[in-house]
């Protein structure tokens, strides 16, 4: 019987093949108390399993193909760090010693504690890092049980086109699919910024995540279609549906080949206006993917990832400097915009702040996060600023400050940047004294009070994800109101248009680095508003570039003006259709 499931589209394309189900690890482990004399032997069991998992990860690393995306090696590094992290290992040992839990019970108990911390995180990307800890724990539990995490031996080539269906997939495990006839994947869990979604995009594999109960409803060897453009999974499709999707699949393959021809052509509109297409990155080695996609720079380097890998301490200046320098050098002179840390005391970094004890905010989105947290921890902030400034000696670097809203916040930040420069001067360390400093426009107050920013800063970057959330009072993490998250709400569009217009009038460069920048359906609308710099995931660069090359700014003026003059949903949609046809 044919049926359709709906989830979140995270990697474009169409996959048709047979389902291969991966059973989740059994986290429902045995719970029992051990005798005092068994404590050390129980800890030794953990260490043995830990060594086994370390060997598995090193084997995966050794098997990386020369053309494997840089994300793969980076994610293996992350899992290796988690495997040895004190918040996982030492706390598990403490539960064994103080409560006399068996090792499986202690490990799953500590996982539950860490998961609660991550559930409170407002930032979608960081919140989904919880999956990495779960995947590492799953590996250790399987090692304790004597099971292998590898794919079944009989899978290789058993199906001409295999589509993996799972509750969740660890990015490291996806390495094994490189040697399989692997066409796509479907998971019950995940979101647009989960690691598996990132890897899927980097590999160009059609994927749908957050497809609830998919692993329970889909059976082994079911014929399925994964529509990665819309997050749709069709199980046992009718012949006419299968024929339609087969045709669309061949059309997309042809489109992808055509897109590759655009990589080295100038990015300009039909009327000759040059448009900058930059990349968003999370890891230093992501810069390679940015270069390969033809990016003209890094428009957003999210530095939170460097901090999230240290559950028991903040990264030292040298470590941060090394990461920033690597990204800058990989970009070969192209500009790299580094955003300062965008987490707060409500996040797992609490434990690294010396244990002074910020209470978890009732509403983390409105609490001590981003620049507010950085200004409350000036020594931490100065350390990061010094590291970024030092990296500027090796290439073009800009500093981007998140979540600014008040004049005093801007002034305090600029004072600390001057102090970081003074400290480097005293230490005789090199940096670019003319590093530009910019602000994220992601709070409605910032857009409305734009003159405060235009007077003090060198550039602006519109973060559409948070701007939409704060403008519409929508918690993106709350499924009960997620349907109200609307990038095309008139209030959101007016704030974006106002920011672009006023920045242009003041001669201040402005970019867009949120999800809207990487959505080709939004490209013409943003161009018509006056945007000339987009920043997005590298996988989206060429499809957005194609829209740019087909656009003429003069013909977009009237339909875009009609969109901004519309308030009723039907009027907005009708005006948007005219934009797409202009």
By annotation, the residues acting in catalysis are 195, 513
| Strand 298-302 relative to strand 276-281, pairing | parallel
Of 539, 520, 540, which Cα lies nearest the Cα of 580?
A: 520
| C-alpha closest to that of 239 among 419, 16, 558, 45 | 16
298: three-class secondary structure by DSSP = strand
Count CB-CB contacts under 10 A for residue 366: 10
- Residues 207, 209, 214: CA angle, nearest 5 degrees: 105
CA dihedral 290, 296, 297, 300 (to 10 degrees): -80
Cβ neighbour number for residue 432 with a 10 Å cutoff:
17
- Give, as one character, the DSSP assignment of residue 146: T
CA dist 65 and 69 (Å) reads: 9
- Element of type H or E holding 11: strand 8-11
Distance of CA 10 to the CA centre of its chain: 11
Bridge partners of residue 301, in order along the sequence? 281, 338
Instruction: Yes or no: say if 331 and 290 are a contact pair by the CB < 8 Å rule.
Output: yes
Interacting residues of 448 by C-beta distance below 8 A, sequence separation 6+:
495
What is the C-alpha end-to-end distance of the chain, expressed in Å? Answer: 43
> What are the Cα distances from residue 574, in Å, to 483, 524, 544, 562?
21, 15, 22, 9
> Encoding tokens for residue 55?
């060997």
Rounded to 5°, angle at Cα 244 from 241 and 245: 90
CA triplet 121, 513, 342: central angle to 5 degrees?
30
Q: What are the backbone dihedrals phi and psi of residue 16, each rounded to the nearest 5 degrees, phi first?
A: -130, 125
Distance (Å, whole) CA 470 – CA 481? 13
* The CA-based dihedral angle spanning residues 207, 208, 213, 218, taken in that order and rounded to the nearest 10 degrees: -50
Integer Rg of the chain from CA = 24
Question: 438: how many CB neighbours lie within 10 A of its CB?
Answer: 22
Q: Residue 401: which region, alpha, beta or left (left: phi > 0; alpha: psi -120 to 50)? A: beta
Query: What is the CA 467 to chain-centroid distance, rounded?
Result: 17
| Phi, psi angles (nearest 5°) of residue 357 | 85, 65
Give the position of tokens 């990307």.
125
Q: Are strands 3-6 and 14-22 parallel, antiparallel or unpaired?
A: unpaired
């Amino acid at each position: 019987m044919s049926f359709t499931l709906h989830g979140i589209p995270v990697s474009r394309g169409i996959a048709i093949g047979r389902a291969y189900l991966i059973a989740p690890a059994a986290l429902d482990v045995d719970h029992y108390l051990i005798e005092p004399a068994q404590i050390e032997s129980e800890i030794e069991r953990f260490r043995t399993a830990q060594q086994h998992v370390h060997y598995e990860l090193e084997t995966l690393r050794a098997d990386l193909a020369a053309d494997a995306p840089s994300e793969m090696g980076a994610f293996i590094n992350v899992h290796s760090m988690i495997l040895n992290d004190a918040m996982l290992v030492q706390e598990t040992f403490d539960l064994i010693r103080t409560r006399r839990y068996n090792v499986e019970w202690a490990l799953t108990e500590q996982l539950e504690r860490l998961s609660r911390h991550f559930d409170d995180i407002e930032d979608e990307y960081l919140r989904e890092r919880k999956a990495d800890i779960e995947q590492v724990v799953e590996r250790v539990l399987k090692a304790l049980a004597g099971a292998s995490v590898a794919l079944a031996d009989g899978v290789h080539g058993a199906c001409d086109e295999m589509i993996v269906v799972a509750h969740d997939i660890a990015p490291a495990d996806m390495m094994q699919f490189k040697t399989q006839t692997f066409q796509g994947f479907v998971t019950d869990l995940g979101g647009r910024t989960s690691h598996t979604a990132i890897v899927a995009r980097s590999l160009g594999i059609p994927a749908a995540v957050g497809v609830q109960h998919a692993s329970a409803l889909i059976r082994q060897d079911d014929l399925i279609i994964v529509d990665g453009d819309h997050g749709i999974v069709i199980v046992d499709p009718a012949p006419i549906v299968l024929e339609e999707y087969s045709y669309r699949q061949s059309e997309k393959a042809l489109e992808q080949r055509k897109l590759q021809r655009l990589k080295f052509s100038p990015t300009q509109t039909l009327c000759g206006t040059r448009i900058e297409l930059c990349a968003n990155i999370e890891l230093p080695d992501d810069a390679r993917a940015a270069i390969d996609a033809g990016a003209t720079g890094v428009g957003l380097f999210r530095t939170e990832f460097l901090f999230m890998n240290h559950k028991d301490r903040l990264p030292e200046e040298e470590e941060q400097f090394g990461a920033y320098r690597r990204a800058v050098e990989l970009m070969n002179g192209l500009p790299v915009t580094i955003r300062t840390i965008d987490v707060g005391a409500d996040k797992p970094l609490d434990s690294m702040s010396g244990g002074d004890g910020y209470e978890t905010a009732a509403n983390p989105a409105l609490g001590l996060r981003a620049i507010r947290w950085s200004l409350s921890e000036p020594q931490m902030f100065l350390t990061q600023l010094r590291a970024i400034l030092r990296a500027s000696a090796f290439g073009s670097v800009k500093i981007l400050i998140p979540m600014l809203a008040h004049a005093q916040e801007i002034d305090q930040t600029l004072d600390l940047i001057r102090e970081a420069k003074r400290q480097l001067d005293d230490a005789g360390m090199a940096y670019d004294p003319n590093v530009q400093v910019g602000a994220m426009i992601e709070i409605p107050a910032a857009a409305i009070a734009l003159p405060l920013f235009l007077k003090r800063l060198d550039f602006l970057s519109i973060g559409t994800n948070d701007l939409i959330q704060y403008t519409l009072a929508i918690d993106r993490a709350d499924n009960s109101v997620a349907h109200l998250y609307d990038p095309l709400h008139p209030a959101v569009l007016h704030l974006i248009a106002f920011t672009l217009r006023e920045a242009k009038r003041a001669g201040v460069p402005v970019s867009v680095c949120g999800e809207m920048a990487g959505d080709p359906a939004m490209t013409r609308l943003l161009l018509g508003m006056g945007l000339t710099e987009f920043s997005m995931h590298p996988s989206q660069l060429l499809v957005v570039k194609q829209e740019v090359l087909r656009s003429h700014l003069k013909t977009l003026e009237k339909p875009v003006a009609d969109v901004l003059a519309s308030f009723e949903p039907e009027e907005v949609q009708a005006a948007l259709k005219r934009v797409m046809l202009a």
